[in-house]
């Protein structure tokens, strides 16, 4: 298999990170310690990123040094241009980067920003943040649903089977909401529990709409 | 002397038969004219339709049976439980609307009922609302939307885009193809001999049974809050599985190949199972909050 240069490898970085490593890139990686190191670092970033905000994380300075030295080595970035201001240097650096490398760098910057946001927080404050987020987003909905439910204290359709079914299922959904809320309180980061909670609210809203409609039709 | 003979004898003594023969039928005729004209409780109506007709049915309570036939017409046979309800069936272009409504205020619940037997062309599109009772649909290949509160829904041999929504009514689907989207709060969902490429079934406290083919590129999402989710697979099936029960169990009989890449975020919570069965052509997602998920071999 024909060997490729580090620059070619950088061009193929997107498909590599997308889980489809080209064969020639794999061959290059076996022989090039710099690129191998870069890939290891990017993988490490992705792994860390998937668990950000749930654990205390610290970006390794090695990642940045390695990434930077690799880009410099490839001639893709140039440091120490005294004639240019810092902003100009950055703009020039971005302009000089080929598209895949730019995309990779952009992704890295986003991840770095995420790390920067999460770094000062400990696990407890993260949980509090999740919980507060959940409360902020569900409280208005909850209040609206309670108001809606209070507006017709005793639903009574002409058909007793329908009345019984709607009241029974409303009780089921209320219980479901209570259990989901408890679960979200216990594990604020649990997205499944949060999804279930939102769905339970949606079901309740839907049920109340049906009851209102049938109650009005019955009048 | 017999009683009849005695009565006749007494009667002939007091009145003549001739005037009575005129008066009695006359009185009967007048009483018929003065009463409200009520249509018979059983009615049969026919509507000529073109290809892909739409049939809508709104009924508060009763048994609705819809069957496909080969004629290019819709036949509606309605049977009212009482004179307190009226049945309307009318055609608007290629659409036939059937509805039941109260004829007066304060209709007793038991009287507010009508049963329907409806025959439609097999490419008909159906929209059915039936709060309580039962809905049965067979051999209709067009799209359909069924909404009920307590009514059970039974579907056989469908092929279109089917959306079912019940509050407490159960749903059963046999030999259904096409696209299925089912949601309920407490109804049990039973999907057997399914040949569908898209199944999305969700119930809160009901059980879900899926027994059918997992078609290549098909997506099968089954979700409940509590209750049992049971999926039956055959050795020839090919699917990518993710099964998560937050508080319940996941029981699996499939020999899965673990996924090489990183798992979904929420796999850290609850009991989860991820893997590939054969080539992983279909996508199967099973989610429960505290119910049990069974992935079992089909007999």
Q: What is the ipTM of this complex?
A: 0.80
Query: How many beta-carbon pairs below 8 A join chains A and B?
Result: 84
Between these two residues, B253 and A20, which has the higher pLDDT value? B253
Is residue B223's pLDDT more than 80?
Answer: yes
Q: Report yes or no: B103 at the A interface, CB cutoff 8 Å.
A: no
Res. A68 pLDDT band, cuts 50 70 90: low
Distances (CA, A) of A30 to A14, A23, A39, B105: 18, 11, 11, 85
Q: Does residue B265 sit at the A interface (CB-CB below 8 Å)? A: yes
Report the C-alpha gap between B2 and A207 in whole angstroms. Answer: 71
pLDDT value of residue B247: 92
Q: Is residue A54 predicted with pLDDT exceeding 60?
A: no
Query: How many angstroms away from the CA of A92 is the closest CA of chain B?
Result: 36
**Residues across chain B:** 299
Are A173 and B149 an interchain contact pair (Cβ–Cβ within 8 Å)? Answer: no
Average pLDDT score over chain A: 67
Give the pLDDT confidence of B67-124 residue by residue, as tens digits: 999 999 999 999 999 999 999 999 999 999 999 999 888 888 888 999 999 999 999 9
The pLDDT score that the predictor gives to residue B24 is 56
Q: Is A180 on the interface with B (CB under 8 A)?
A: yes
Residue B118 exposed, middle or buried by CB count within 10 Å (0-12, 13-18, 19+): buried
User: At B178, which helix (H) or strand (E)?
Assistant: strand B177-184
- Cβ of A196 and B205 within 8 Å? no
Structural domain spans, chain A = 6-118, 123-218
Does B244 touch chain A if contact means CB atoms closer than 8 Å? yes
Pairwise pLDDT comparison (B108 vs A9), residue with the higher score:
B108
| Binary contact (A172, B204; C-beta < 8 A) | yes
**Shortest Cα–Cα distance, B172 to chain A (Å):** 19
Q: Say yes or no for a CB contact (<8 Å) between A168 and B205.
A: no
CA distance A94 to chain B (A): 31
With pLDDT > 70 as the criterion, what percentage of chain B qualifies? 84
| Interatomic CA distance for residues B76 and B67, integer angstroms | 11
The beta-carbon neighbor of A192 closest among B132, B167, B269 is: B269
Distance from CA of A170 to the nearest CA of B (A): 9
CA angle B150, B152, B156 (to 5 degrees): 160
Q: Tell me whether residues A158 and B266 touch, CB distance under 8 A.
A: no
The pTM of the whole model exceeds 0.80: no
**Rounded Cα–Cα distance for residues B11 and A158 (Å):** 52
Torsions phi, psi for A107 (to 5 deg): -60, -45
Mutate which of A127, A162, A203, A217 to test chain B, going by most B C-beta atoms within 10 A?
A: A162
A193 touches B: beta carbon within 8 Å: yes
Asked if B149 reaches chain A (Cβ–Cβ under 8 Å), the answer is yes
């Amino acid at each position: 298999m024909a060997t490729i240069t580090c620059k070619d490898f950088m061009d193929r970085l997107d498909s590599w990170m997308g889980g489809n490593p080209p064969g020639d890139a794999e061959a290059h990686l076996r022989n090039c310690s710099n690129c191998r190191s870069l890939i290891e670092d990017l993988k490490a970033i992705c792994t860390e990123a998937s668990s950000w905000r749930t654990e205390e994380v610290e970006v390794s300075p090695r990642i940045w040094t390695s990434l930077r030295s690799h880009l410099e080595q490839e001639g893709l970035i140039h440091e120490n241009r005294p004639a240019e201001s810092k902003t100009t240097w950055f703009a020039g650096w971005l302009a000089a980067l080929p598209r895949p490398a730019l995309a990779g760098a952009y992704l890295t910057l986003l991840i770095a920003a995420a790390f920067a946001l999460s770094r000062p927080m400990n696990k407890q404050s993260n949980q509090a943040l999740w919980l507060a987020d959940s409360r902020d987003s569900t409280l208005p909905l909850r209040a609206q649903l309670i108001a809606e439910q209070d507006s017709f204290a005793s639903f009574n359709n002409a058909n007793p089977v329908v009345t019984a079914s709607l009241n029974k299922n409303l009780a089921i959904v209320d219980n479901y909401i209570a259990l989901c809320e408890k679960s979200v309180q216990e594990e604020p980061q649990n997205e499944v529990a949060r999804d279930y909670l939102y769905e339970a609210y949606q079901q309740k809203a839907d049920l109340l709409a049906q009851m209102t409609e049938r109650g009005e039709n019955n009048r | 002397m017999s009683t009849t003979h005695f009565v006749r004898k007494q009667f002939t003594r007091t009145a003549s038969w001739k005037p009575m023969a005129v008066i009695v039928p006359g009185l009967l005729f007048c009483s018929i004219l003065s009463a409200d004209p009520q249509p018979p409780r059983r009615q049969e109506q026919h509507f000529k339709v073109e290809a892909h007709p739409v049939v809508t049915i709104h009924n508060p309570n009763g048994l609705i049976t819809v069957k496909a036939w080969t004629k290019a017409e819709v036949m509606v046979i309605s049977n009212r439980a009482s004179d307190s309800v009226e049945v309307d069936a009318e055609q608007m272009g290629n659409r036939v609307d059937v509805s039941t409504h109260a004829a007066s205020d304060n209709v007793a619940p038991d009287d507010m009922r009508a049963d329907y037997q409806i025959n439609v062309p097999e490419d008909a599109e159906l929209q059915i609302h039936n709060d309580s009772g039962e809905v049965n649909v067979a051999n209709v290949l067009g799209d359909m939307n069924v909404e009920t509160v307590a009514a059970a829904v039974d579907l056989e041999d469908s092929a279109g885009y089917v959306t079912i929504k019940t509050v407490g009514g159960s749903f059963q689907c046999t030999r259904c193809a096409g696209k299925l989207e089912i949601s309920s709060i407490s109804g049990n969902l039973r999907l057997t001999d399914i040949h569908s490429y898209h199944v999305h079934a969700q119930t809160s406290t009901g059980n879900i049974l899926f027994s059918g083919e997992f078609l290549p590129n098909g997506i099968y999402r089954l979700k409940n809050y509590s209750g049992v989710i049971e999926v039956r697979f055959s050795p020839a099936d090919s699917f990518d599985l993710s099964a998560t029960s937050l508080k319940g169990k996941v029981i699996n009989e499939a020999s899965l190949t673990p996924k090489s890449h990183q798992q979904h975020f929420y796999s850290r919570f609850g009991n989860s199972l991820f893997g590939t069965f054969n080539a992983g052509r279909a996508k199967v997602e099973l989610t429960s909050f505290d119910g049990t998920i069974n992935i079992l071999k089909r007999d």
